[in-house]
Amino acid sequence: MKEEVFIGGWTKSRLRERSQNERHAVWKRARALHSAEGNHLARAIEMLGLPYAEPEPLAGADPLTERMKAVFASPAARSAAIESTLDGLPALSGLDTLLHEELGEEYRRNPAAVPTAEALTAELMTGLGYVEAGRKDLPQRCIARSGAYWKRG
């Protein structure tokens, strides 16, 4: 028996193979279409019973959060964030690279690590006197796909 094919060529088996973040991105794009086909795909994702929402940041007491905070407390993290901002990129782009170097797979494979990194970046940048000025895509080398762009406050 053939599997139902949704808009964009998605099938339930292909959706099951995707990560929570990837399913969320597909669900969000499907909802944004404001069409019957998009709504049909979004409902199919919802009915899979698998997580598809953006993950929440890690709890403050989580061991990975503590290790991430240690990376953010380093002078290298401050320099990477400011350098990225001066280059016209989100501050997270430089920090993302540091986190991947320091934490490796633990950072890359944890879906809640990126929202945690975004929250820690916001703390760092506001502490340095910057204000959020919108969002931009990050370079392909980064684990995170987008991040806040900062400017001097």
pLDDT at 6 over 80: yes
The model's pLDDT over 62-116, given as tens digits with 9 standing for 90+, comes to 899 999 999 999 999 999 999 999 999 999 999 999 999 999 999 988 878 989 9
Give the pair of three-digit tokens for residue 42: 């979004």
pLDDT at 51: 81
Percentage of the residues of the chain whose pLDDT score is greater than 70 = 99
Residue 61 has pLDDT above 90, yes or no: no
